[in-house]
Amino acid sequence: MASSKSKKASNSTSSENRVVYSEFGPGSKPAAVERPRQELPPNQQNLRVQASRKGRKGKTVTVISGFQVTPETLTKLLKQLKTQCGSGGTLKDDTLEIQGDHAQKLVEILIQLGYKAKISGG
């Protein structure tokens, strides 16, 4: 009786992790599928800084979009901006989200770093 329970437990865990079809192998993302990233210098990038509350349960978040750089550069920039504003933030789909309404301050910081940035929206 105990052996039948252990078989059921092992079968249920293996069926959860089962891959039905994978063209390039399990869990791998080959370089052939990835899009090439062209990293532009800061003075050639037009950034939009916008304070948004939509979909965030009334919390204000400053969204910076328009980047054309690698994800590594974005993470370094995000860390620098978060420390300058003294707040948290995240990186989502090539946009930076800083918690709070820091639009004016972020535009000044980005201009000092050499980016072309302006406030977008109301």
- Which residues span the domain enclosing 107? 42-119
Query: Domain holding 69: CATH number?
Result: 3.30.780.10
Is 76 inside any structural domain? yes
Q: What is the pLDDT of residue 39?
A: 80
- What are the structure tokens assigned to 44, written together? 């050639």
Residues 61 and 98: beta-carbon distance below 8 Å: yes
Residues 75 and 43: beta-carbon distance below 8 Å: no
Is 9 inside any structural domain? no
Is 22 inside any structural domain? no
Is 26 inside any structural domain? no
Q: What is the pLDDT of residue 11?
A: 52
pLDDT digits (tens, 9 = 90+) for 52-70: 998 888 899 999 999 999 8
Residue 46 φ/ψ, nearest 5 degrees: -105, 110
Q: What's the burial of 56, exposed, middle or buried (CB within 10 Å: 0-12/13-18/19+)?
A: exposed
Is 50 inside any structural domain? yes
Residues 111 and 64: beta-carbon distance below 8 Å: no
Cα separation, 86 vs 45, whole angstroms:
25
Is 20 inside any structural domain? no
Is 31 inside any structural domain? no
Q: What is the pLDDT of residue 61?
A: 95
Is 110 inside any structural domain? yes
Dihedral of CA atoms 91, 107, 70, 100 in degrees, nearest 10, equals -10
Q: Considering the entire predicted model, what is its pTM?
A: 0.69
pLDDT, tens digit only, all 122 positions of the chain: 555 554 554 555 555 677 677 676 656 565 555 666 678 888 888 999 999 998 888 899 999 999 999 889 999 999 999 999 999 999 998 899 999 999 999 999 999 999 999 999 86
Q: How many domains does the chain have?
A: 1
